[in-house]
């Protein structure tokens, strides 16, 4: 019994262990987590880490051309040169600069004796003061005295006119009084005539005894009264006529006073006009003397001679104590921060030399050659030498090139295009395969596009700040600067390779001329690391040496700019495609896959 029971108990223990194991697996198993069998059966080839980026080096496409080179001896000229001469005659009392001295525009470089000029200036100032006082006096005389005289004469004329009106009114009243008096005479004459007849009749009656003596005396008294009234009336007429004559005399006097007042007013007005003209003349004289003062001040300023431009003193033909005159050169100043390098080129070589052509200038000091561009080709040739002048304006830091020095100019003759307009790429960037030639360019630059400015003549490029500073003109050849878009160097891991078919032109083994409908001067070609590239392959820019990349980018750099998915448990990363394939669950441990930027940790 012991043996069977023992076997039964063992079987029951195994069943119990299996049940507990199943329960534990059901309790702690995470979604997507693989068991051992499933993990062994899983296709690990599907679990690829993020794709890496090929290390490459980039070179910007440029414009230029390959052609014949000619060499000429040239000479250095200052960019600008100015002869300094005085504007007035005077003795030089100071000449503080010497050949080789740097001067700036506006700096004092010479001074003339100013004693005589100062005396003339003071004389002009005194004359201006006197003229100003005279003008003030004339102004006051005009405005105060003569205007007051005109006002007084006008008042007198008004008073005289009023006197005429009053006298005429009085004469009119006298005339009316004469008429009234004459009417009184007529009335008194009628009464007197009546009583004269009546008293004669009454006397006859009284003498005849037909009327009493008393009646006669009464009527006689009335007659005498009538006669007396007539006499008084006649006296009034005489008095009225006398008053009328007096009034007429007053009218005549008043009219003469009006005429006199009018004459006084006319004279005062004429005096005012004269005074006004004198005041204007005095003002004009004051203005003239002020102009003389300003002129004297200007002439005084001519005793201090300043540099009209910044540059270097090249000659000092005069010395202090010299009597300098207008037109006499006392200094020469040249602007040599930039210089003009000229050469006389044979007419046979001019056909390939245009503004913008490259030129290499070798100075006599044996230093490094100076790379520049031809800025102008003179439009006419010398009739005797059959040569024309070509010129390059070049910066001259440290004043290495001295005016008058000889240089050697190695000039590139351009075969085609205008101003070297061919696209140039490194010869090593060209891949020839299957009868086609192509280059790889970088697409998807990490930095934003920026605007550069390209010269329409020589195709040199300038930054936006440089273009604005030079008023959008090439400082070398004066060509118009037009905006073009230029991409920054691609950020690590943020660019891809793109194949562009090209046609190859001339090549010197280092650079090649190419043409393409797709390639532009703003592109950057892959010069090293093209092996194994495919369309759209990710690239990362790194420094190359003779044996390949000097250093390889780390994983973070290689994946910069890409979205990968990291497990929140084990930290393993997956590409976006693999994360989607596994429903964003880590197939190894069931952890959730969350997106992160550019990491391969």
Rounded to the nearest 5 degrees, what angle is found at the Cα of 342, between the Cα atoms of 338 and 344? 175
- Supply the range of the domain harboring residue 376: 69-111+312-412
In this structure, how many other beta carbons lie within 10 angstroms of the beta carbon of residue 274? 12
Query: Does 387 map to a domain?
Result: yes
Q: Are residues 135 and 258 in the same domain?
A: yes
Q: Specify the pLDDT at position 412.
A: 84
What is the Cα–Cα distance from 412 to 432, expressed in whole angstroms? 28
Query: Does 491 map to a domain?
Result: yes
Q: Are residues 206 and 242 in the same domain?
A: yes
Query: Does 397 map to a domain?
Result: yes
Q: Are residues 134 and 273 in the same domain?
A: yes
- Of residues 491 and 452, more confidence is placed in 452
In sequence order, the β-bridge partners of residue 391 are: 342, 376
Residue 594 has pLDDT above 70, yes or no: yes
Q: Are residues 101 and 203 in the same domain?
A: no
Give residue-wise pLDDT tens across range 235-246: 878 887 787 778
Query: Does 356 map to a domain?
Result: yes
- Of residues 458 and 230, more confidence is placed in 230
Q: What is the mean pLDDT of the chain?
A: 78
Q: Are residues 349 and 435 in the same domain?
A: no
Confidence at 598, pLDDT banded by 50, 70, 90? low
What is the Cα–Cα distance from 239 to 234, expressed in whole angstroms? 9
Q: Are residues 456 and 353 in the same domain?
A: no
Q: Are residues 93 and 163 in the same domain?
A: no
Q: What's the whole-number mean pLDDT along residues 191-209? A: 79
- Say which CATH number the domain at 125 has: 1.10.287
Confidence at 500, pLDDT banded by 50, 70, 90? very high
What is the Cα–Cα distance from 539 to 560, expressed in whole angstroms? 11
Confidence at 407, pLDDT banded by 50, 70, 90? very high
Give me 42's structure tokens: 């899983």
Residue 597 has pLDDT above 80, yes or no: no
Confidence at 290, pLDDT banded by 50, 70, 90? confident
- Of residues 143 and 268, more confidence is placed in 268
Residue 420 has pLDDT above 50, yes or no: no
Give residue-wise pLDDT tens across range 141-150: 666 676 777 7
Query: Does 2 map to a domain?
Result: no
Q: Which residues contact 14 (CB under 8 A, 6 or more apart)?
A: none
Q: Specify the pLDDT at position 596.
A: 73
Query: Does 557 map to a domain?
Result: no
How far is CA 544 from each of CA 59, 272, 346, 424, rounded to the nearest angstrom?
12, 100, 44, 21
Q: Specify the pLDDT at position 86.
A: 92
Q: Specify the pLDDT at position 33.
A: 45
Confidence at 575, pLDDT banded by 50, 70, 90? low
Q: Are residues 203 and 263 in the same domain?
A: yes
Give me 360's structure tokens: 């290499």
Of the residues 376, 392, 412, which one is the last residue of a structural domain? 412
Asked if 497 contacts 445 with a C-beta cutoff of 8 angstroms, the reply is no
How far is CA 453 from each of CA 63, 357, 486, rounded to the nearest angstrom?
14, 18, 9
Q: Which residues contact 322 (CB under 8 A, 6 or more apart)?
A: 91, 92, 330
Distance of CA 214 to the CA centre of its chain: 130
Query: Does 101 map to a domain?
Result: yes
Strand, coil or helix: 532: coil
Q: Are residues 369 and 389 in the same domain?
A: yes
Give residue-wise pLDDT tens across range 149-185: 778 778 877 887 887 788 778 778 877 878 887 788 8
Q: Are residues 473 and 537 in the same domain?
A: yes
DSSP for residue 350: G
Detail the DSSP E strand segments found in 282-322: 304-306, 311-315
Query: Which residue's structure tokens are 């003002």?
Result: 283
Q: Specify the pLDDT at position 271.
A: 74
Strand, coil or helix: 54: strand
Give me 190's structure tokens: 């009628």
Residue 492 has pLDDT above 60, yes or no: no
- Say which CATH number the domain at 95 has: 2.40.30.170
Query: Which residue's structure tokens are 């600069």?
Result: 97
Q: Are residues 206 and 282 in the same domain?
A: yes
Of the residues 274, 301, 328, which one is the last residue of a structural domain? 301
Strand, coil or helix: 505: strand
Could you tell me which of 392, 527, 423 has the C-alpha nearest to residue 59? 527
Query: How many structural domains is the chain composed of?
Result: 3
Query: Which residue's structure tokens are 């009264």?
Result: 225
Give residue-wise pLDDT tens across range 51-99: 557 888 888 998 876 667 889 999 999 999 999 999 888 889 899 999 9
Query: Does 559 map to a domain?
Result: no
Q: Specify the pLDDT at position 373.
A: 93
Confidence at 36, pLDDT banded by 50, 70, 90? very low
Q: Are residues 281 and 149 in the same domain?
A: yes
Give me 474's structure tokens: 């090439």
Q: What's the whole-number mean pLDDT along residues 189-195? A: 81
Strand, coil or helix: 472: coil
Residue 384 has pLDDT above 80, yes or no: yes
Highest mean pLDDT, choosing among 35-39, 238-242, 407-411, 597-601: 407-411
Strand, coil or helix: 23: helix
Q: Specify the pLDDT at position 50.
A: 41
Give me 545's structure tokens: 């040496």
What is the Cα–Cα distance from 513 to 515, expressed in whole angstroms? 7
Of the residues 412, 441, 461, which one is the last residue of a structural domain? 412
Q: What's the whole-number mean pLDDT along residues 254-267? A: 80
């Amino acid at each position: 019994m012991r043996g069977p029971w023992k076997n039964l108990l063992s079987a029951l223990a195994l069943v119990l262990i299996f049940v507990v194991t199943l329960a534990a697996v059901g309790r702690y198993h995470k979604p997507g987590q693989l068991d051992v069998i499933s993990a062994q059966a899983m296709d690990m080839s599907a679990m690829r880490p993020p794709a890496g980026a090929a290390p490459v080096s980039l070179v910007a496409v440029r414009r230029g051309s390959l052609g014949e080179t000619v060499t000429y001896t040239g000479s250095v000229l200052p960019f600008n040169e100015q002869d300094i001469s005085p504007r007035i005659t005077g003795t030089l009392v100071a000449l503080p600069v010497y050949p080789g001295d740097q001067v700036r525009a506006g700096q004092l470089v010479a001074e003339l004796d100013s004693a005589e000029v100062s005396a003339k200036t003071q004389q002009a100032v005194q004359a201006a003061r006197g003229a100003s006082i005279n003008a003030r006096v004339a102004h006051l005389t005009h405005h105060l005295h003569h205007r007051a005289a005109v006002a007084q004469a006008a008042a007198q004329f008004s008073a005289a006119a009023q006197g005429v009106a009053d006298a005429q009114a009085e004469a009119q009243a006298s005339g009316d009084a004469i008429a009234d008096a004459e009417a009184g005479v007529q009335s008194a004459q009628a009464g007197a005539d009546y009583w004269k007849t009546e008293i004669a009749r009454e006397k006859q009656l009284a003498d005849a005894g037909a009327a009493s003596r008393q009646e006669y005396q009464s009527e006689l008294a009335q007659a005498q009264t009538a006669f007396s009234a007539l006499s008084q009336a006649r006296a009034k007429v005489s008095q009225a006529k006398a008053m009328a004559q007096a009034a007429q005399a007053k009218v005549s006097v008043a009219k003469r006073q009006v005429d006199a007042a009018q004459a006084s007013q006319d004279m005062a007005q004429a005096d005012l006009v004269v005074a006004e003209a004198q005041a204007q003349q005095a003002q004009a004289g004051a203005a003239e003397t002020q102009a003389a003062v300003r002129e004297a001040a200007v002439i005084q300023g001519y005793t201090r001679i300043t540099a009209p431009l910044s540059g270097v003193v090249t000659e000092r033909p005069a010395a202090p104590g010299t009597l300098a005159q207008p037109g006499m050169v006392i200094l020469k100043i040249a602007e040599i921060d930039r210089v003009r390098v000229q050469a006389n080129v044979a007419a046979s070589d001019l056909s390939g030399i245009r503004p913008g052509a490259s030129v290499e200038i070798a100075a006599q000091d044996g230093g490094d050659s100076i790379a520049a561009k031809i800025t102008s080709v003179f439009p006419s040739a010398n009739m005797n030498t059959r040569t024309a002048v070509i010129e390059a304006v070049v910066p001259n830091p440290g004043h290495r090139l001295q005016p008058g020095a000889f240089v050697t100019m190695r000039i590139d003759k351009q075969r085609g295009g205008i101003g070297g307009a061919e696209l140039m790429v490194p010869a090593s960037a060209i891949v020839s395969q299957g009868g086609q030639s192509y280059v790889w360019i970088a697409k998807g630059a990490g930095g934003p596009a920026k605007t550069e400015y390209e010269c329409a003549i020589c195709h040199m490029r300038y930054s936006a700040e440089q273009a604005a500073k030079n008023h959008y003109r090439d400082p070398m050849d004066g060509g118009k600067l037009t905006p073009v878009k230029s991409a920054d160097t691609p950020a690590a891991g943020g660019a891809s390779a793109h194949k562009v078919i090209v046609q190859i032109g001339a090549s010197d083994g280092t650079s090649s001329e190419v043409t393409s409908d797709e390639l532009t001067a703003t592109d950057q070609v892959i010069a090293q690391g093209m092996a194994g590239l495919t369309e759209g392959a990710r690239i990362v820019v790194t420094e190359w040496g003779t044996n390949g990349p000097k250093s390889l980018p780390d994983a973070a750099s290689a994946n910069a700019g890409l979205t990968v998915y990291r497990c929140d448990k084990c930290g393993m990363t997956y590409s976006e495609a693999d994360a989607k394939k596994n429903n964003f669950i880590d197939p190894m441990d069931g952890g959730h896959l969350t997106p992160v930027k550019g990491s391969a940790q």
